[in-house]
């Protein structure tokens, strides 16, 4: 018989805390080590033997599946359908749009042969299987998709064409980082075709709103909507809109982009349509995408030194039940109650894990599920049954000024009368979702400055930890490079007018050049 720790007392709580401290580097020691430790402890992903390519482990992938479902529902609700296009792009297609080709040329995986052969007993690439035309593994699919749209679009009646694709893409990166930058990654790419510029511009803005809604209301990640400067645009776009989030180290992370492509790709693929006036015209295009990078954003926005923290809406498991017992008859009663609680929670639409492993101490289970980010743990022991309560432990509470880790730990735990417990859990989860957003927003505000001169700018980034600097800007691309060299900052976006906080509105003078500036931009260090 197993003899796990029998009670909800302090000792069972301390074990995981001690283990936690040894396993996850605190953010204050090394933010980048902390990030990798959180991923490792939560078993989200790991490097593979293939240079730059990661393995998304089951727990990480289940978060991606949740994201996919939420995004896909939103795409379909806005009239889009899914399709699938080849992952190979003939070299000649990729190079049809000049800027596009130039933008992706340096990071292309290229298929050149189609057969292996055993030569002198060693299996190697068969030199006789060389392809007439090399094939590039898609870094993005504009060129191959627009080549197909040519067959599908004849008149304005065929428009708009609102198609999305879930796929893997490859961009050969030299320096990789789990989720944030890998050679192969998973994403969705929307590619839409429209009869008018106006409609395409509206689509570009609409999909940015879809992304912002998803980021804020599902991921609990506050974002600022804006546009990129010409130098930061997608290769081949006339306009790139983006959402930018702030990570816990004050750096910006681009969380999604939506591009207005004008007629660049329809011209490259020669896709014309008969408009309402009966004239032939090139089609107007947009494209938009988010990727597994969002999992990186999720981790770096919410997690703490104890490991992963997930917003309930993206948690693959909402509640874990850990049974606590010593004797057989205790086990029987505790398991019966656990089954009952689980069934009641499942009826509320929650995903519940009953951790009935008998070769593991409760403390080790607490630690495992905390580091994997399960929002609520229920501990069920004989005493709880006697008292008619459920012991609920939240994954986190919002820090109060001056509060010790021990005090926080106490606040995370509550004993709720059994009859009220199920509703209480549902309410608590909704509350946690909102608290995460509020905390992230408050953090961003605490690391945001409206700055009007280079001295303050320098102090902010070199002494005060940096963050988002709202500055007036009227410089050139070269001026941007200069800022980047001096401060490692870039223009994250030119925020949309309704995104400007109080005190940042109106015109002014460029922080670097002193030239007149119509509005402020956000400068920050970035991932």
Binding residues for a copy of itself, per CB under 8 A?
46, 48-50, 53-58, 60-62, 64-65, 81-91, 93-95, 101, 104-118, 123-125, 134-137, 144, 147-148, 151, 157, 163, 167-168, 170, 172, 184, 186, 359
- How many Cα atoms within 13 Å fall on the side-chain side of residue 293? 22
> Rounded distance, CA 47 to CA 51, Å?
8
CB of 148 to a copy of itself, least distance (A): 5
Task: State the DSSP H helix or E strand holding residue 163, giving kind and residue range, or none if neither.
Answer: strand 161-170
Q: What is the DSSP letter of 488?
A: S
Which residue number, 157 or 387, has a Cβ lying nearer to a copy of itself? 157
CB closer to a copy of itself out of 65 and 339: 65
Q: Closest distance between a copy of itself and the C-beta of residue 94, in Å?
A: 8
When the beta carbons of 112 and 507 are compared against a copy of itself, the nearer one is 112
CA distance 446 to 112: 52
Grouping H, G, I as helix, E, B as strand and the rest as coil, residue 188 is: strand
Q: How far apart are the first and last CA of the chain?
A: 51
Q: How far is the CB of 131 from a copy of itself (least distance, A)?
A: 9
Tell me how far, at minimum, the Cβ of 314 lies from a copy of itself, in Å: 15
Which residue, 295 or 522, is less far from a copy of itself as judged by CB?
295
Cβ atoms of residues 305 and 26 within 8 Å? yes
Q: Which two tokens stand for residue 50?
A: 């293939």
Closest CB to a copy of itself among residues 19, 459: 19
Q: How far is the CB of 138 from a copy of itself (least distance, A)?
A: 10
Q: Which CB atom, from 45 or from 252, has the smaller least distance to a copy of itself?
A: 45
Min separation Cβ 382 and a copy of itself, Å:
27
Choose between 130 and 387: whose C-beta lies nearer to a copy of itself.
130
Which residue, 285 or 504, is less far from a copy of itself as judged by CB?
A: 285
User: Whole-angstrom Cα distance, residue 295 to residue 318?
Assistant: 17
Contacts of 395 (CB under 8 A, 6+ apart): 309, 310, 370, 373, 374, 375, 376, 377, 412, 432
At closest approach, how far in Å is the CB of 68 from a copy of itself?
10
Work out the number of other CB atoms within 10 angstroms of the CB of residue 28: 8
CB 121 → a copy of itself: shortest distance, Å? 11
Choose between 36 and 111: whose C-beta lies nearer to a copy of itself. Answer: 111
Locus of tokens 């003939």: 90
CB of 181: closest distance to a copy of itself in angstroms?
A: 15
Q: Is the peptide bond before 426 cis (omega within 30 degrees of 0)?
A: no
Cα 448 → chain centroid: 21
Give the containing element (helix H, strand E) for 200.
helix 197-217
Residue 35's alpha-carbon distances to 9, 58, 101, 162, in angstroms, are 31, 18, 34, 37
Give the integer Cα–Cα distance in Å for 392 and 8.
Answer: 11
Three-class DSSP labels, 300-314: HHHCECCECCCCHHH
> How many CB atoms are closer than 10 A to CB 495?
21
| Strand 88-90 to 130-137 pairing | antiparallel
Work out how close the CB of 160 gets to a copy of itself at its nearest, in angstroms, rounded to a whole number: 13
In angstroms, give the least distance from the CB of 40 to a copy of itself. 11
Comparison of 296 and 467: residue with beta carbon closer to a copy of itself: 296
To a copy of itself, the closest distance from the beta carbon of 111 in angstroms equals 5
Considering beta carbons, is residue 277 or 386 the nearer one to a copy of itself?
277
DSSP code string of 404-433: -HHHHHHHHEEEEEHHHHHHHHHHHHHHHH
Classify the phi-psi angles of 514: left when phi > 0, otherwise alpha if psi is within -120 to 50, otherwise beta.
left
Pick the closer one to a copy of itself by CB: 46 or 488. Answer: 46
Chain centroid offset of residue 120 CA: 48
Helix (H) or strand (E) run with residue 264 in it: helix 264-269
* Cβ density class 393-409: b for 16+ within 10 Å, e for less: bbbbbeeeeeeeeeeeb
Supply the minimum distance, in Å, between the C-beta of residue 204 and a copy of itself: 21
Q: How far apart are CA 131 and CA 128, in angstroms?
A: 9
**Rounded distance between C-alpha atoms, residue 223 and residue 219, angstroms:** 10
Pick the closer one to a copy of itself by CB: 11 or 151.
151
């Amino acid at each position: 018989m197993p003899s796990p720790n029998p009670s909800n007392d302090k000792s069972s709580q301390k074990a995981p805390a001690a283990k936690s401290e040894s396993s996850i580097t605190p953010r204050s020691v090394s933010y980048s080590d902390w990030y990798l430790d959180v991923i490792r402890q939560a078993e989200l992903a790991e490097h593979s033997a293939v240079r730059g390519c990661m393995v998304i482990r089951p727990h990480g992938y289940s978060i991606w599946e949740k994201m996919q479902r939420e995004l896909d529902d939103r795409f379909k609700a806005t009239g889009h359908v899914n399709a699938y296009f080849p992952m190979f792009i003939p070299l000649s297609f990729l190079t049809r749009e000049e800027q596009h080709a130039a933008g992706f040329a340096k990071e292309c995986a290229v298929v050149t042969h189609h057969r292996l052969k055993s030569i002198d007993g060693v299996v190697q690439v068969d030199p006789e299987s060389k392809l007439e035309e090399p094939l590039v593994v898609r870094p993005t699919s504009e060129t191959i998709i627009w080549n197909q749209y040519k067959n599908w679009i004849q008149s304005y009646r065929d428009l708009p064409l609102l198609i999305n694709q879930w796929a893997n893409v490859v961009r050969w990166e030299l320096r990789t980082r789990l989720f944030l930058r890998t050679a192969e990654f998973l994403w969705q790419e929307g590619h839409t075709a429209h009869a008018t510029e106006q409609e395409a511009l509206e689509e570009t803005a609409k999909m940015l709103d879809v992304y912002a809604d998803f980021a804020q209301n599902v991921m609990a990640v506050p974002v600022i909507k804006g546009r990129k400067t010409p130098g930061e645009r997608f290769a081949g776009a006339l306009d790139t809109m983006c959402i930018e989030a702030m990570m816990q180290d004050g750096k910006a992370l681009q969380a999604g982009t939506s591009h207005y492509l004008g007629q660049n790709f329809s011209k490259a693929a020669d896709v014309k349509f008969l408009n309402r006036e009966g004239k032939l015209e090139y089609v107007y295009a947009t494209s938009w995408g988010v990727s597994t990078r969002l999992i990186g954003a999720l981790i770096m926005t919410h997690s703490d030194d104890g490991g992963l923290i997930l917003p309930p809406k993206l948690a693959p498991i909402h509640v874990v039940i850990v049974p606590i017992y010593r004797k057989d008859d205790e086990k029987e009663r505790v398991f019966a109650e656990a089954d009952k609680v689980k069934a009641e929670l499942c009826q509320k639409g929650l995903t519940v894990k009953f951790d009935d492993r008998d070769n593991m101490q409760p403390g080790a289970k607490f630690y495992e599920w905390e580091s994997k980010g399960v929002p609520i743990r229920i501990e069920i022991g004989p005493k709880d049954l006697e008292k008619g309560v459920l012991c609920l432990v939240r994954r986190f509470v919002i820090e109060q000024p001056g509060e010790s880790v021990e005090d926080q730990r106490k606040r995370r735990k509550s004993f709720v009368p059994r009859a009220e417990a199920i509703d209480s859990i549902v309410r608590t989860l909704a509350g946690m979702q909102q608290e995460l957003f509020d905390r992230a927003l408050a953090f961003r505000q605490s690391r945001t400055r409206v700055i009007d001169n280079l001295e303050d700018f320098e102090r902010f980034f070199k002494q005060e930890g940096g963050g988002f600097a709202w500055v007036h800007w009227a410089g050139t691309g070269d001026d941007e490079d200069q800022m980047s060299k001096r401060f490692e900052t870039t223009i994250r976006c030119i925020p949309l007018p309704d995104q400007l906080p109080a005190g940042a509105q109106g015109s002014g003078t460029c922080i670097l050049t002193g030239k007149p500036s119509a509005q402020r931009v956000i400068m920050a260090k970035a991932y």
